[in-house]
Structure 1
C-alpha cells in the first residue's frame, strides 16, 4: 500500500507597510509546493505594482522601491494564477495572520472570497509551542536548526519560503512521512532469505583446564579472604 500523498503550500508576502486597513498593499508573493513536506521544485513568484508609494522604511526591509515595481502587474491580474497554485491545500506561513490579513484585503478588492482560515498553518505558533520563551523568528529558527540563511540579507519572499520549507520540515519532526516505512520495506526486500537451507551442525568444544592451571587457581583463591567461589564447591 502506497503512503498517501499530501500537498501543501509555503507562502510569504512582502508589503508596503504593516497595516492593510490603512492602505498598505502587497507588492510580492512567493509560494513553493510541498509533497509530503518535501519541496517538489514547483513555485509561484510575482512582483506586483502596489499602486501606491513604497515608504523608505519598508524599502529598507525588502529592498523594493516604487520605481522598481512600476509596470509590474496589479494584484487582480496575478490572482487567477495564485488561486490555481494554492488550489484547496493547506497554506503555511510564518506569522501567517499577517500574510492572510493582507491577502484578505487584496482578495476583497478583486471581488474574490478570502482563503478560509481553516487552511492556515502558522509556523510561528508551532515554533512558540516547541520553543516557549525563545526567539522564534525565521532567522532564529534557521540558526537553531542549522539551516544556512547567509543569503538572507533582506526580506525576499522567494528566499523566505525556501528557508521556511526547511524549517517546517524540522518543526514537523525532520522526517518525510512514509520515509522510514519505505526504508524498512526496501531493507527488508534486499535482506537475504534462506529457504530450505541445511541445518548448521555445531561441534561441542569443552574447555578442560590442565593440572597446572587448577593448581594456580587454587593458589590464587588461597590469597583471598572468604572467596565466594568456595561456596560453589
Structure 2
C-alpha cells in the first residue's frame, strides 16, 4: 500500500478568498515503511504574503519570487499523489487549498476539473488522534510530546519538515514506527524505538507529576494562539 504524508503552507486560511499555497511537502511510505522518496517545492503564490503569516512559516515574497508557480508543478504533483492514500493532519484545510489550486489550473487549461479525492484516499490524522485520545490536545507538537518524537528542530512551520514529523506521528498513532526501506536484507518489523519511561518512578510504577516551567507555559500559549489563528477556531478546552 502506497501512502503519501502531505503538508502545505499558505498565504492565509481561505482559498475561496484568494489565499494560495506557498509550499508543498510530501514523503512516501509503502507498506508502512518510509521509502526515502519525497516531493517538495516552494511556490510563488502570485500575491503578497501577509507579515503575520510569514511569522508562522518564515516564507516571504522574496524567498519565493523565483520559485515555480503552481501551474508549473501541477501535473508533476498530481501524478505523484494519484492512487495513493494521503495522510494529512487537518485534511480539510490542505485538501481545500489543493483542490482550489488544481481547479484554477484546470480552468487555465480549459479542461474539466476532478477533485483530488476522486483519485486518492484521504486519512485525517487529526480525526484519528481525537478518536484515540479524546479530551487531549492533538496538535502535531502535542502528539510529538505524547509519543516521544523529537521535534526540537521545528522552530517554524514548514511543509516538508512537518510531513516528515507527521509520518512518525502517524505510525505511532496507528501501531508503531517501522524502519526505512534501505535494503531487502533488513529484518521486517524490527525497531530500535526507545520506550519513554521517564514518567514512572522506581517504586511501583506510580506516575510522577511534572510541572511545566514558565518558559514552557509561554511557548505553549504562543503555539495555541498561532493554532487558533490558523484554524479560525477556538482551540482551548473549557
Q: Structure 2-normalised TM-score?
A: 0.71
Aligned to 2:117: 116
> Could you list the runs of 5+ residues in structure 1 that have no partner in the other structure?
1-5, 185-233
Contact 1:28 1:46 in 2 (8 A): yes
Aligned to 1:136: 138
What is the CA deviation profile of residues 170-200 of structure 1, one whole-angstrom value per residue up to 9, with x for unaligned ones? 11111559xxx9669xxxxxxxxxxxxxxxx
For CA contacts below 8 A with separation 6 or more, give which structure has more relative contact order.
2
1:147 match: secondary structure? coil
Instruction: Give the greater-gyration-radius structure (CA).
Output: 1
What is the CA deviation profile of residues 25-61 of structure 1, one whole-angstrom value per residue up to 9, with x for unaligned ones? 0010000000111210000000000000000110000
Aligned to 1:170: 172
Aligned to 2:151: 149
Contact 1:36 1:176 in 2 (8 A): no
1:116 match: secondary structure? helix
2:136 match: secondary structure? coil
> Could you list the runs of 5+ residues in structure 2 that have no partner in the other structure?
107-112, 180-186, 191-238
Moved more, 48-57 or 65-74: 65-74
Contact 2:168 2:177 in 1 (8 A): no
| Total equivalences in the alignment | 176
Cα distance in structure 2, aligned partners of 1:160 and 1:80: 23
Q: In the alignment, is residue 60 of structure 1 matched against residue 55 of structure 2? A: yes
2:176 match: secondary structure? coil
Cα distance in structure 2, aligned partners of 1:183 and 1:91: 23
What is the CA deviation profile of residues 82-126 of structure 1, one whole-angstrom value per residue up to 9, with x for unaligned ones? 112112111110001100000110010000422116611100000
Q: Structure 1-normalised TM-score?
A: 0.72
2:166 match: secondary structure? helix
Contact 2:12 2:53 in 1 (8 A): yes
Aligned to 1:199: none
Cα distance in structure 2, aligned partners of 1:94 and 1:136: 10
User: After the TM superposition, which parts of structure 1 deviate over 3 Å for at least 4 consecutive aligned residues?
Assistant: 181-184
Is the alpha carbon distance of 1:165 and 1:182 closer, same or farther for their aligned partners in structure 2, counting shifts above 3 Å? Answer: closer
Cα RMSD (Å) of the superposition?
1.9
